[in-house]
Amino acid sequence: MTLTQLEYLIALERFGSFSEAAKNCFVTQPTLSMQIHKLEEELGVIIFKRDKQPIVPTDIGRKVLEQAKQIIKEKERLTIILQVERGEFVGALRVAVIPTISSYLLPMFISSFTKKYTEVELIIDEVTTDEVLNGLNKGNFDIGIIALRSNNGNFITETLYYEPFVAFLPPDHKLIRKNKISQDDLDVSDFLLLKEGHCLREQTLAVCKSNENEWIHKSSKVIFESGNLETLIKLVEQKFGMTLLPYLALQYIKDRKKLNQIKEFTNPVPKREVGLIYSNTFIKTHLLEALKSDILKVIPEELKKNKSGLIVR
């Protein structure tokens, strides 16, 4: 039995295909297939059912895979211990970020991080919150950056900052002359929402003190549900409705007319809690700390503490 064979097992379970597993292990399909077959012969068990697509493990195969993952995890842990001892920052870091954070946060720190840690391969996926959590469970991601929920499962979370929401109004909106607005000023029928699956959708409805059914009932005949916040901004400019924006989005709005369409909230200001989320078995903690440090360096000081405000989940 070799560590390489165990890595092949894990890859085959992950991809459910000999060809895909081989491709991701950078070997030929016959090589990977032969090594798994040799391991099965050595152990005297059949680990995978070959008669189904995608290929799935047998009952005993699941037990073997569970142990194999533990062995590989300990091997990785030993490697990380030695890297930390030598002061090395190397290897891949797979980070999943929700779209309403990635568009505004990533440009603020990603250049400095990659220049500082040249041996770290930063792999970033832009996915919804549920996809982040599923990916962490499956081991597809190392770290997630999300708007933290009331219940984040069995994952470890670390708060990065508390981000206020602002309202972005059409130029002729009835609230445009107000210096600041309150939640009581809001009418759910005015709002454009992101598609289901985006946490900003649920947060917007919470700020409006409304629910999904009320929004559908009160909305106009044209209902825009976008997967992209930038699309909603353009629709607001076309006077189709208003939307909420995260505070960090403001730094990318340079047009003075657009700035006049932005309204902050009176206290308690609705906010979201943005943070890191990862498994309790995650071992590349030195890379996590490096990432966290670089993010916090670019976050305005006033966002790092929730002095006053209403956290919206």
Residue 183 is given by DSSP the state: G
- The lowest-confidence range among 4-8, 61-65, 212-216, 264-268 is 212-216
Which tokens go with 186? 């809001």
Rounded Cα distance, 80 and 100, in Å: 32
Mean pLDDT of 86-105: 92
Cα 227 to Cα 5, 28, 131: the distances in Å are 41, 39, 14
Rounded Cα distance, 195 and 228, in Å: 9
Rounded Cα distance, 33 and 38, in Å: 9
Whole-prediction pTM: 0.78
- Whether the pLDDT of residue 58 is over 60: the answer is yes
Rounded Cα distance, 91 and 112, in Å: 17
Q: Which domains does the chain have, with CATH numbers?
A: 3-85 (1.10.10.10), 89-161+271-311 (3.40.190.10), 165-269 (3.40.190.10)
Which tokens go with 264? 């902050």
- The lowest-confidence range among 77-81, 87-91, 103-107, 211-215 is 211-215
Beta strands 310-311 and 270-278, pairing class: parallel
Which residue type occupies 127?
V
Mean pLDDT of 28-48: 96
DSSP letters, 252-269, are G---HHHHHTEEEEPSSP
Rounded Cα distance, 140 and 65, in Å: 16
Mean pLDDT of 263-275: 94
- Whether the pLDDT of residue 220 is over 60: the answer is no
Tell me how far apart the terminal alpha carbons of the chain are, to the nearest angstrom.
Answer: 48
Q: Which range among 87-96, 104-113, 181-190, 216-225 has the greatest average pLDDT?
A: 104-113
